[in-house]
Amino acid sequence: MIHSNAATRLKEVSTDPVTLDYHGFTVTRSTPTIGAEVGGIDLREPLDDATLTSLRQALVRHKVLFFRDQDITPAQHVQLARHFGELEVHPVFPHHPDHPELVLLGGNKDMRGRENIYHSDVSWREVPSMASMLRCVECPEAGGDTIWVDMARAYAALPEAVKERIDGLYAVHDIMPGFGARMTPVEREINRKKFPAVTHPVVRTHPEGGEKILYVNEGFVTHLANFGEKAQFRVGFDFRYGELDLLQYLFRQAAVPEYQVRLKWRPNTIAFWDNRSTQHYAVQDYFPAVRRMMRATIIGDKPF
């Protein structure tokens, strides 16, 4: 497992050159804020430790990396992702028959996909994911893009008064809003016991890059755990509506285009993103065409 603390801290707008050289590959920035396309690397081949370290540095720096024309097998996908940490087995999504660490994503001609909400993968876990690695198996010629959002930039741009207001607040993250409808009543009871709602700081610190990150998402956050301890109000509805208004304001930050990058998929495109500092949204504009994907998710660390 490769770790690095060499990532630079957040800047208002990147002044990096458009194309940067790393050990074993190049990256070309997609936007001034987030995203980069990786070139000069074949993920079917073994990668040395220096290249893996550079990939991790690039991930922390650019937050999502795009690789084109990477015709890797499911076994290679798992092996590649495992270089960056232990892989999770998702409790709800269907798995690859030979590799339970790979989830199979996508609807079919009779059922739409349902990932079109801004979210960070498995933030409902006590120890959420560090990163996800998604490969396109099949996609429509048009539509089905994915959007990623730089939530460190979203936090940095907040008004100072809002930063003061959310300092010390904790949000409750829950598996059920996103996945409860996919479960039978028995499965809901089992998973409720296995995955109780958890609290994470509204503003977390990136353990490698050091940035402050706005860590609430409308896919899994249900409420603020300690809003009443800090809020000032006259009567009860001030408290309740104040909490709802603040959460909705924070959720909306992910929808700001200036914090986003958008990827048009092609078969054998891979996106590798940092779940600690980003949210994403899978655009569902292609139904009844089919989009099939495989994803490996790397276990991270407890937010602080």
Instruction: Assess whether 119 carries a catalytic annotation.
Output: yes
CA-based nearest residue to 27, from 53, 61, 77: 61
Instruction: Assess whether 295 carries a catalytic annotation.
Output: yes
- Burial of residue 83 (CB within 10 Å: 0-12, 13-18, 19+) is middle
CA-based nearest residue to 157, from 219, 221, 250, 222: 250
Q: What are residue 239's phi and psi, to 5 degrees? A: -65, -50
Instruction: Assess whether 280 carries a catalytic annotation.
Output: yes
Q: What are the structure tokens assigned to 236, written together?
A: 């009860």
- Helix (H) / strand (E) element for 96: namely none
Concatenating the DSSP letter of every residue in 151-194 gives: HHHHHHTS-HHHHHHHTT-EEEE-SHHHHGGGS-HHHHHHHHHH
Residues 56, 119, 200, 291: which is the catalytic one? 119
Residues 165, 200, 280, 291: which is the catalytic one? 280
Residues 61, 121, 150, 153: which is the catalytic one? 121
Instruction: Assess whether 121 carries a catalytic annotation.
Output: yes
- Which residues are tagged catalytic? 119, 121, 280, 295
